Chain A
Amino acid sequence: MAVEPVLLAEEIRFVGPASIGSPVVLDGVRFAVGAGEVVDIGGPSGAGKTTLLRALARLLPDATGHLALRGVSADEIAAGEWRRRVTLLPQKAALRPGTVRENLLLPWTLKLRGEEMPPADGALAEALADVALGDIALERDGSRLSVGQAARLALARTVLTRPEVLLLDEPDAALDDDSAAQVAQMTARFAAEGGAVVRVRHQRIDGHATRRLRLSDGNLSEVSA
């Protein structure tokens, strides 16, 4: 019997704005990811990979189609709750002014997590070490981090929230090879612990993807190994 996917997307359709000629960006995409999987999505620039991740996170106004999380339709899950469980990390790390600690704890300042206990400093330091930022102090000013460090801090923050599906948009685009390798290992560990990961990436194959897909002409296709 087939394992039920954590996240299932069917007939996802999105037409770009009229100002650029209403191009069909997503043309009835079907996609599923299961627990423990790391799915890589590649494809030419402008093919709509970021758009697809946004649609999966319910962050794309006007996208149509059907989404389900562990068999429950998106219609029955509030948008905020959905994004707590299916979390997109956008390519541009957007940190708030404040310390590294304040940035890591930002999700626990939101109403959505009002009841949850925020992680303790030990867990924060561990999360930083997981993304090769072990030498960064929690008191450090977040605005003084490099682009690559900010990207990893944002990744650490998202992983700390323990989503069920992690959607990563170019997670290693701004990273050197060593940091990228460490981030990839952390991502693989997240999947091994039962999470589902979808990565949009351009970089060479890093050996951590369990499946690779290609988005072109508005549709996904399997890439053979």
Chain B
Amino acid sequence: MAQPLWRCGVFMLALLPLLFWFYQAQQGLLGPDPGKVLLEHLGEGALILMLLTLSLTPLQRITLWSGWSLIRRQLGLWCFCYASLHLMSYLAFLLNFDFSRLNHELWERPYILLGFGAWLILLLLSLTSNAFSRRKLGKNWKLLHRLLYLGLVLALLHLLLILRSDFGSWMLYAGVGLILILNRLFGLRSP
């Protein structure tokens, strides 16, 4: 497959859910509390994108197709985009832009702090995702970007702490995350 086409297709696929949710919110299809639904969709989307981003290297090793790594940076940035919109929704829909409450909420509620930590990692990785930073950081770049695994753990804990009764989808995400982490620690290394 031609590289630009593949990248462009992935771009469209990642953008599509955002457009769809925006359309649903516009049409009043998200129910009586649309902000809360958007918030949850965006958070779940960010988590899925995080898992996908971390799956690309193992996928490349299994399928021996180099196309996977071509979209790694893009998916990572999409993950940051979803996570940022998730954070924005929290500020807008739950805190009603009352920033005096943010500080309090941050320290009172461990899951808020965990989520914020995950977002800070994504911010740092996004800022250093360009070719310049990569050159500048040299070997350290790879180490730095392994922080995404920590981001994943924080994000999973963040979700776990807010769940109330049904853990079905959390188990799925955590299961995939665990496989990725175990693979990173004990799996096949690149030659």
State yes or no: do A and B come from one complex: no
Q: A residues near B, CB below 8 A?
A: none
